[in-house]
């Protein structure tokens, strides 16, 4: 791939090069990132922008003894290439290949598993404290993007880091963007710093003047004392990064992150400094590739594309995606109800709310990477008569669990949670799988939990949730719908009412969401074996349609539950609990869902095969029940 890069198997090889050769290494890293992501997809923009920073860090620091902690990790492709994974980089995000984010199982250079934003400073501070308690002397560096700095957890880490006064370096990789353009006061503050580079010169002048005055007897000491007394009053005007300094961090910067000749001397000086330091590095997202420079949002996370033209490989025409259907439904409902508002936590693009925001500018709130704030903000809106819809990925809503319980469910306010990316998410892997939302939501008092079998049912559930006078969650998958006809007039669903989509007497397949379609395929396979399977579209995990579940249990005598979520505490568990409470005994139940482990990255088909969630798996589970046997590898059989 590159004349120099081919000689680098680890950072020690990188250190053998001269500083003059490093720009070529950066260029070759960018070429490799473009080449591989054009075939596999992945997070292009952030890693392109951080290429110089990655090279400078591994060139100077003694990695892996020195700990580099990457926030989110989508800026770390160059890090992977330089740390022994160059020859496997082409397997990026593929089944059995390397992960799209740093992973401790993958490399000794990955010190912390990441993919959610805002975690790096806290993790790095913990490592620094452990180092000091153990009497060790390695360096700890957290590399955080400015988008992640909007996360409350990042600010908590900064606050505690300055107080603890440990030797730690935070590198703020500032490209004015997370996935979308940054919002909020922190973004504005960083922008002011970037336009105030004169302030660094002013501080240097002040330091030189102080040194000069100390050489003058008596008068010099008096003048220096006077300077110290007025310093706090004028500091805001002459020192960029004042907020960080007040939090206890020495601020260094801003530094041009695309100039190795500036990064190296800056980082060398920082390596000599004690205490908490924050280095403000300015980069451009997508730097080094004209198409990603021009459209950084489009090229943040890419599918396959032509590296020569930047054109994305067109997919065959198909049904609309679930995210698009949700947002179009939300817009349709918002046009007739002015109380409906939408909330995003720095994911306008990911949740498809961009067009909604254009139409409903005053009713669409992007609160930054702040899921906790987003949920309590929604509760406040609901308490004053609005109808907030928080569109948040299933995996990211986990970050606001206390707020869901304390501020929404306990208060019992009408907040709608649109849980995008519920279930399997493919190549983003275990950090992004929507595996746990059924289990962590159905146990909450006042909460309604539902999942549509197709896109038409999604629009009906969206209306149902918004009209419900309490907390309601609609979980829907990543990807395209089933291609069913869409109702022009949207009607709500009766709360807690399931739908029997196929009659049968031998076994009942109780399915949720996209698993309904797979269960129908399985029912066809079973019919060829002269086994008549009933298929129930459960729709609502909470409240359950107890009457129809009880009827199927008595009529069929065997139940297989199928869900794209964890088995432990999931929909199947809810069925077992219900049967036990009703006193319905002697009915064997096999639960299909995610096993008690994380599902690795790869295609959704690979992931479903791994989890035992294909039509063939469902068919086999039903046959095993009928024939009185259970396969431990694919299912767990219980008797209520």
Residue 77 lies in a domain: yes
637 — pLDDT class (breaks 50, 70, 90) = very low
* C-beta separation of 56 from 263 below 8 A: yes
For residue 143, the SS3 value is strand
Q: Does residue 191 share a domain with residue 337? A: no
| % pLDDT > 70, the chain | 88
* 311 lies in some domain: no
Q: Which of 104-118, 124-138, 371-385, 621-635 has the lowest mean pLDDT?
A: 621-635
d(CA 340, CA 588): 44
Active-site option among 52, 371, 457, 563? 371
- CATH assignment of the domain containing 170: 3.40.50.970
> H-type helices in 215-319, by residue range?
219-238, 242-246, 260-272, 290-294
Residues 106 and 230 in one domain: no
Q: Is the pLDDT of residue 213 over 90?
A: no
pLDDT at position 638:
47
Same domain, 470 and 504: no
One domain, residues 21 and 112: yes
SS3 for 170? strand
* In a domain? residue 353: yes
Query: What pLDDT score was predicted for residue 240?
Result: 63
Half-sphere exposure of 374 (CA within 13 A, CB side): 31
Helix (H) / strand (E) containing 331: helix 322-336
- Give the integer Cα–Cα distance in Å for 351 and 201: 43
Task: Say which of 30, 86, 176, 285 is annotated catalytic.
Answer: 285
What's the mean pLDDT in 392-418?
97
Residues 128 and 20 in one domain: yes
pLDDT band (50, 70, 90) for residue 342 = very high
Provide the pLDDT for residue 239.
55
Residues 107 and 142 grouped into a single domain: yes
Tell whether the model's pLDDT for residue 633 goes beyond 60.
Answer: no
Residue 308, in any domain of the structure: no
Average pLDDT over residues 452-469: 98
Question: Which of 131, 399, 421, 460 is the catalytic position?
Answer: 399
Q: How many domains does the chain have?
A: 4
Both 222 and 256 in one domain: the answer is no
Active-site residue flag, 315:
no
Q: Do 148 and 174 belong to one domain?
A: yes
Say how far residue 632 (Cα) sits from the centre of its chain. Answer: 32
pLDDT of residue 314: 86
What rounded mean pLDDT belongs to the chain?
Answer: 90
Which residues span the domain enclosing 558?
Answer: 499-639
CATH code for the domain of 606: 3.40.50.920
| 214 and 191 fall within a common domain | no
Q: Is the pLDDT of residue 504 over 50?
A: yes
- Say how far apart CA 93 and CA 523 lie, in whole Å: 33
Asked if residue 491 has pLDDT above 90, the reply is yes
pLDDT band at 14 (very low <50, low <70, confident <90, very high): very high
Verify that 233 and 245 share a domain, yes or no. Answer: no
In whole angstroms, give the CA distance from residue 512 to residue 533: 16
Q: Is the pLDDT of residue 238 over 60?
A: no
Looking at residue 212, its pLDDT comes to: 60
Q: For 232-236, 284-288, 567-571, which range has the lowest pLDDT when averaged over its residues?
A: 232-236
Q: What is the pTM of this model?
A: 0.87
Query: Each residue of 255-305: pLDDT tens digit?
Result: 999 999 999 999 999 999 999 999 999 999 999 999 999 988 888 889 899
Quick one: pLDDT at residue 425? 94
**Mean pLDDT, to the nearest integer, of 101-112?**
95
**Residue 356 domain flag:** yes
Looking at the fold, whether 428 and 536 belong to one and the same domain comes out as: no
pLDDT at residue number 462: 98
- Specify if 303 maps to a domain: no
Helices (H), 384-514: 394-397, 401-403, 437-442, 455-467
**Contacting residues for 559 by C-beta, under 8 A, at least 6 apart:** 507, 508, 510, 552, 553, 575, 587, 588, 589, 590
Clarify whether 371 is annotated catalytic: yes
Whether 285 is catalytic: yes
pLDDT band at 72 (very low <50, low <70, confident <90, very high): confident
- pLDDT at 562 > cutoff 90: yes
Decide if 382 is inside a domain.
yes
The pLDDT of residue 183 is above 60: no
- Select from 331, 552, 322, 550 the least CA-distant residue to 453: 322
Answer whether residue 465 is part of any domain. Answer: yes
Q: How far is the C-alpha of 561 from the C-alpha of 515, rounded, in Å? A: 10
Which residues are CB-contacts of 186 (< 8 A; sequence separation ≥ 6)? 146, 149, 150, 368
Confidence of residue 636 (pLDDT cuts 50, 70, 90): very low
> Residues 425, 553: one domain?
no
Distance of CA 495 to the CA centre of its chain: 30
């Amino acid at each position: 791939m590159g004349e120099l890069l081919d000689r680098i198997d680890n950072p020690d090889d990188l250190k053998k090069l001269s500083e003059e050769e490093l720009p070529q290494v950066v260029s070759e890293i960018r070429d490799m990132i473009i080449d591989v992501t054009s075939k596999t997809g992945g997070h292009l923009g952030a890693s392109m922008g951080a290429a110089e920073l990655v090279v400078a860090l591994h060139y100077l620091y003694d990695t892996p003894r020195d700990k580099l902690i990457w926030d989110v990790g989508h800026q770390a492709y160059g890090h992977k290439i330089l740390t022994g994974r160059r020859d496997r980089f082409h397997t990026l995000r593929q089944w059995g290949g390397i992960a799209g984010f740093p992973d401790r199982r993958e490399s000794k250079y990955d010190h912390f598993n990441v993919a959610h934003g805002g975690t790096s400073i806290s993790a790095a501070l913990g490592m620094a404290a452990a180092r000091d308690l153990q009497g060790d002397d390695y360096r700890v560096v957290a590399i955080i993007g400015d988008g992640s700095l909007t996360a409350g957890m990042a600010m908590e880490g900064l606050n505690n880091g300055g107080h603890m006064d440990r030797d730690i370096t935070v590198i703020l990789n500032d490209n004015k963007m997370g996935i979308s353009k940054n919002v909020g006061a922190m973004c504005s503050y960083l922008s002011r710093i970037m336009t105030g580079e004169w302030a660094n010169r002013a501080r240097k002048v002040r330091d030189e003047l102080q040194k000069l005055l100390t050489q003058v007897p008596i008068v010099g000491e008096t003048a220096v004392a006077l300077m110290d007394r007025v310093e706090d009053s004028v500091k805001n005007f002459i020192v960029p990064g004042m907020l960080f300094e007040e939090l206890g961090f020495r601020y260094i910067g801003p530094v041009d992150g695309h100039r190795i000749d500036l990064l190296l001397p800056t980082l060398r000086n920082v390596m000599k400094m004690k205490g908490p330091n924050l280095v403000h590095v300015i980069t451009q997202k997508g730097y080094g590739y004209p198409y990603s420079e021009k459209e950084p949002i489009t090229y943040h996370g890419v599918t396959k594309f032509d590296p020569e033209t930047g054109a994305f490989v067109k997919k065959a025409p198909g049904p609309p995606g679930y995210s698009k259907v949700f947002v179009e439904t939300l817009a349709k409902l918002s046009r007739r109800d002015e109380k409906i508002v939408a909330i995003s936590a720095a994911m306008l693009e990911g949740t498809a709310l961009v067009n909604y925001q254009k139409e409903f500018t005053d009713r669409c709130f992007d609160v930054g990477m702040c899921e906790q704030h987003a949920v309590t903000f929604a509760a406040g809106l609901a308490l004053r008569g609005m109808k907030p819809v928080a569109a948040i990925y299933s995996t990211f809503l986990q970050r606001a669990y206390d707020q869901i319980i304390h501020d929404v469910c306990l208060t019992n306010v009408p907040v709608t949670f649109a849980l995008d990316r519920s279930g399997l998410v493919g190549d983003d892997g275990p950090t992004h799988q929507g595996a746990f939302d059924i289990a962590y939501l159905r146990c909450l008092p006042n909460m309604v939990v539902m999942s549509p079998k197709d896109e038409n049912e999604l629009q009906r559930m969206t209306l149902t949730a918004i009209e419900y006078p309490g907390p309601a969650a609609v979980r829907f998958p990543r990807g395209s719908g089933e291609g069913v006809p869409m109702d022009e007039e949207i009607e709500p669903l009766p709360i807690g009412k399931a739908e029997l989509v196929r009659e049968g007497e031998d076994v009942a397949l109780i399915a949720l969401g996209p698993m309904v379609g797979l269960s129908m395929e399985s029912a066809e396979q079973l019919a060829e074996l002269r086994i008549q399977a009933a298929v129930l579209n459960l729709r609502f995990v909470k409240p359950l349609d107890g009457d129809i579940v009880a009827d199927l249990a008595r009529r069929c005598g065997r139940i297989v539950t199928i869900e794209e979520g964890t088995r432990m505490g999931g929909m199947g568990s809810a069925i077992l609990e219900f049967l036990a409470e009703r006193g319905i005994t002697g009915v064997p139940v096999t639960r299909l869902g995610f096993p008690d482990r994380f599902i690795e990255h790869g295609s959704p088909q690979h992931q479903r095969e791994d989890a035992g969630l294909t039509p063939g798996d469902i068919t086999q589970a039903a046959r095993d029940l009928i024939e009185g046997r259970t396969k431990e590898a694919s299912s767990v059989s219980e008797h209520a």
